[in-house]
A and B are shown apart, each in its own frame.
Chain A
């Protein structure tokens, strides 16, 4: 943690540092990225990234106010100032950029496969090598649309965790959706499954902040680059998602 950092007067950084606290929106239901226990303090990679940013502002982890964000409230929370930043497996896209700004990306998620430990079918993250393997996914999801382009050996179910049984019983060889969700499922099932390395779609996760606050955005981008360079980013990864997803190359920050 940086003690008494100096910031130019009137910037968001100076305000937050003076207040000594920051409000961070994150998910409370995404295992390994942001998962809250009964006391409301979330844990995960997103949470660690937020702590790195807070530390750079001279704010201790216990002075971070966590606020649960879901898809319906992320942009409104940022727009009316209820949260200072949102770190919540939040994909950077152009429509969102209309109303808020993104720092980052700090991680690029994407669709991948969950397979039994040891990967008996030798499935890779390239879906064109699937061969006759049967994949399981959720009815009507984007993941289903994506995988249909490569194979017709698909079974679809109501929710991702319903794919676990078919894989156990051999009806399906893999489950496909975003690797972040897969990692959460792998984690819940204690070594029974693994996520194959790599992805075949790209969802850059950014940090949402108020639109037009360029100084704050630059500050977060600088912080992310510094954390990627000095190993704090890697520590955050290995201490949270590391057991279930291979350490990726940190993505280059997009200073748009």
Chain B
């Protein structure tokens, strides 16, 4: 483990990269996921179909393959992006259907009467969703959303195989330099993942208690 402390600047650099991947991936996935969730419940059948196809396609593609397509295949087609940006895109895209499905489960949990009441008051689709349904749905989806984010935190490690220098990539460098402490290094890196994921779990249970809908 001393190798971790001796090379703290390197480890910190990897830790921050992991956090960046998590933050950008989560925001990107939330933006795409919200759009997909809206399309999924929209009154227009074509939109619903597009969202369904997107969800099934992306959700069932392994993350490594998504990375491969964006970082290895796109440059071949002359749409090259920097590997870090590629990782942001891959994580956002891959995580978005899970966010969309979590949101949809929350939306489905809002009693139908709420939407009918809103319509009878003359609300259009956008108003019904944003003013009546989403505020209630959001409160119910905290636990599944946090699960998705925790999974995303761990999924960032896939980026290490695609030239992004995050924590797992740093562990490789350190293992190469300090062959006598490999187990300690891997253990230390694993602990750093817990430093990210455990607080996420705690935040989730706190928020859940604060906003839970009592029915």
Contacts and interface: CB of A to CB of B under 8 A. Distances in A.
B163 interface: yes
Contacts of B178: 95
Interface stretch (B98-106, B132-140, B144-152, B179-187): B179-187
A254 interface: no
Contact of B179 (A70, A100, A140, A159): A100
Contacts of B172: 70-72
Q: Is the interface of B mostly helix, strand, loop or mixed?
A: helix
Size band of the A side of the interface?
Answer: 10 to 19
A96 B175 contact: no
Contact of B182 (A72, A93, A140, A158): A72
7 contacts: A70-B172, A71-B175, A72-B182, A76-B182, A98-B179, A158-B82, A159-B163
A72 B171 contact: yes
Contact of B175 (A72, A93, A98, A140): A72
A73 interface: yes
Contacts of B177: 95
Interface of B: 82-83, 163, 165, 171-173, 175-183, 185-186
Contacts of A93: 179
Q: Is the interface of A mostly helix, strand, loop or mixed?
A: loop
Contacts, number: 37
Contacts of A96: 179-180
Contact of B180 (A73, A99, A158): A99
B180 A98 contact: yes
A256 B176 CA distance: 22
B186 A74 contact: no
B180 to A, nearest CB: 4
Interface in A137-159: 140, 158-159
Closest 9 CB pairs of A and B: A96-B179, A98-B180, A71-B176, A72-B175, A71-B175, A99-B180, A75-B179, A95-B180, A75-B182
Contacts of B82: 158
A100 B176 CA distance: 14
Interface in A59-84: 70-76
A140 B164 CA distance: 13
Contacts of B179: 74-75, 93, 95-96, 98-100
Contacts of B165: 140
B185 to A, nearest CB: 8
